[in-house]
A and B are shown apart, each in its own frame.
Chain A
């Protein structure tokens, strides 16, 4: 895929799961070892084209997420590069033990794609929100955890996973119309964070759709003469320690933002690493420890304080304290 303006805009119109289906179809060749496994979400994974092109590389196990992961592990044990997908809570929780014992423990080449994570399920509600998946999946040894910032990055992640061998959980956030954080082509590498804006006062580390929101926040804070470096930590595990070390030595405040419960997510991962380092104070911004009443995507982001104005407000308050 040529990452020109037109193609990047078209990707953003597909939403992240649409990009997943397109990317998997694009990267697969008839004679390669890729397999796609779903639990009754062929259409939701936007795998129609993949199925048409590669019917013998596709398995639908029905509404049976545990079996989806066991089957994927069995395929991977035979040398296949397996992409398994369903909605994030079911992809990470319903089959968590299979992920841990069959994929992680045996270190098998299974990529699990959690669709509609964060609040992307919108009015569908709490059963379909993915607010725990980072916390859960990153506890599994051998597991790589990736949360792409936008549709462009989602495409690049799937592309990168073609040649990556090992367990991986990919968390897709955003809905139709969620803007791209990236406006031009760039180099994506698993495990390597990307600096999106430069500013000398504070560092904002974000993942998933919060990268774009962090960039909006940076623009808002500029009006208060606060200069913000935004970092896109698309890979939550393994964490990019090298970039974190640089961040720790440069800024007076470190902020992490994620569309995920504050417990166990990106903020926690950064705090774990930071705990025995000389580093600036950290403000963790994420979803509080409760089930909200459900609503549309943008409504949920606003209600849980994950929009730029509310994020900026929290940062200003924190700056007063330190």
Chain B
């Protein structure tokens, strides 16, 4: 089995390469969720189109992060990855539903993925399928009222086949979340809505693994608040609001790849 850290490194290189080739990309948020997505796909169950886990990328602007992971796990080819953001591509800036390739839904407008997961969670229960529904949300996304509509429903109905992962990189388009809409006390918020809430380092595979495993031990929906660094792995992108969505020069591209080689 390939070491997950090695996979994460490959995925970050995928992100930089496909992003550079396409001129612009959501680098920051794609880089912050690499370990989270990598771990989910390392345990992802897929027997057929019905009997499969579901990964909902609710923070749809980080589609590049998802594509880079899908390429690493051979769900899409490298050639497909490199069509990212090109004219008429099936792999645009915000993802388009493609079940064959594990792109669970079209997303890009925030605050809608968790509600979609509810419909799937209810459906899986009715079909007596024990697959998991992983929802990757951003912390900025929790500004949306519709996000909390879904949180309330999941808690009230104890939908424990949903695992919500918040990629808490503490930033959003306009900069640092604390300066825009400061959401504090994540754990208590989710606990009060009936979730089992766990806060972890979102770049630490051991912590991610333990948190996700907790879902089998509690009869509650799970919210994992994964503290991450926006732009993780590329020094000049880390915690820098300018890299929410931007383009890199050839010099920056070479520099980034060199850093990721180390």
Contacts and interface: CB of A to CB of B under 8 A. Distances in A.
Q: Do A and B come from one complex?
A: yes
A70 B153 CA distance: 12
Q: Which of A69, A76, A78, A80 has the most CB of B within 10 A?
A: A78
Nearest to B56: A74
Given A77-B105, A78-B119, A101-B109, A70 B152 contact: no
Contacts of B105: 77, 102, 106
A172 to B, nearest CB: 24
B184 interface: no
Nearest to A82: B119
A73 B119 contact: yes
Contacts of B75: none
Q: By DSSP majority rule, is chain B's interface helix, strand, loop, or mixed?
A: helix
A66 B97 CA distance: 20
B150 A67 contact: yes
A67 B153 contact: yes
Given A64-B149, A101-B112, A105-B106, A71 B118 contact: yes
Interface stretch (B23-31, B122-130, B240-248): B122-130
B106 A78 contact: no
A74 B123 contact: yes
Nearest to B123: A78
B153 A74 contact: no
Interface in A101-132: 101-102, 105-106
B143 interface: no
B109 A74 contact: no
B106 A106 contact: yes
A102 B116 contact: yes
Interface string B228-247: 00000000000000000000
B120 interface: yes
B124 to A, nearest CB: 7
B225 interface: no
A97 B112 CA distance: 9
B113 to A, nearest CB: 8
Nearest to B97: A106
A56 interface: yes
Contacts of A101: 106-109, 112
A45 B97 CA distance: 32
A67 B149 contact: yes
A70 B112 CA distance: 6
B115 interface: yes
A78 B118 CA distance: 11
Interface string B93-121: 00001000000011111011111111111
Nearest to B114: A70
A106 B105 CA distance: 8
Contacts of A66: 111-112, 115, 145-146, 149
Contact of B115 (A67, A76, A78, A105): A67
Nearest to A56: B126
8 smallest A-B Cβ distances: which pairs?
A74-B119, A70-B115, A78-B123, A67-B149, A75-B119, A64-B149, A66-B146, A74-B116
22 contacts: A56-B126, A59-B122, A61-B153, A62-B152, A64-B149, A64-B153, A67-B149, A67-B150, A69-B115, A70-B113, A70-B114, A71-B153, A72-B119, A74-B120, A74-B122, A75-B120, A75-B122, A77-B120, A77-B123, A97-B109, A102-B116, A106-B105
Interface of B: 97, 105-109, 111-124, 126-127, 145-146, 149-150, 152-153
